[in-house]
Structure 1
Amino acid sequence: MFILLLTYVKPLSEIDRLIPPHVEYLEKNYAAGTFLFSGRREPRTGGVIIARAGSRAEVKAIIAEDPFLIEGAAEYEIVEFHPSKTAPDLDAYREP
């Protein structure tokens, strides 16, 4: 499992321009079962995505398709973790 932390490096006006293609990117990855949760950070300095993927290389290939990254509007930090404990409603995401 991966936490993807986005940090905006361009003005919000540029981010707002890229929201429609970024949402398409998110929807594609939700449909593929890769993205589980996402949302913007507060204050609005970036975003957070919780993703499920087989490897860091796979995650890097996925984020390379994000219009925010392609346009140099955001940077990504990738945090890999193994969810060994979950709330009961999220048991399906628990890893050994």
Structure 2
Amino acid sequence: MFLVVLTYTQPLAIVDLHLPAHRAFLERGYEAGVFLLSGRREPREGGIILASASSEAPLRELLATDPFQIHGVARYTLIRFTPTMASALLQPLLDA
């Protein structure tokens, strides 16, 4: 499991230009079963994606197709972790 932390590297006006394409990228990640949860950071300095991937390499390959990365709008920090506890709602993530 990975926590992907996006940090914007461009002004919000430029980020917003690429937002529709970024959302389409996120939808593809959800359809592929890789992305589990996502949203913007507060204050609006970037975003967070909770991703399920077997290793960092395939996740980085997927992230390389994000319009935010293609256009240099955000940088990415990947934090790998092993979930060991979850609320009842998220328990299926531990069982997978």
Same fold? TM cut 0.5 = yes
Unpaired segments ≥5 residues, structure 2: none
CA distance in structure 2 between the partners assigned to 1:35 and 1:51 by the alignment: 4
Asked if structure 2 preserves the Cα contact closer than 8 Å seen for 1:3 and 1:49, the reply is yes
Residues 23-59 of structure 1: CA deviation (Å, up to 9, x unaligned): 1000001011110000000000000000001110011
**Alignment length (residue pairs):** 96
Within a 5 Å distance, the mapping from 1:3-82 to structure 2 comes to 3-82=3-82
CA distance in structure 2 between the partners assigned to 1:90 and 1:41 by the alignment: 21
Root-mean-square deviation (CA, aligned residues, Å) is: 1.2
Shift >2 Å, 4+ stretches: none
CA distance in structure 2 between the partners assigned to 1:71 and 1:95 by the alignment: 37
**TM-score normalized by the length of structure 1:** 0.96
CA distance in structure 1 between the partners assigned to 2:87 and 2:58 by the alignment: 27
CA distance in structure 1 between the partners assigned to 2:67 and 2:38 by the alignment: 16
**TM-score normalized by the length of structure 2:** 0.96
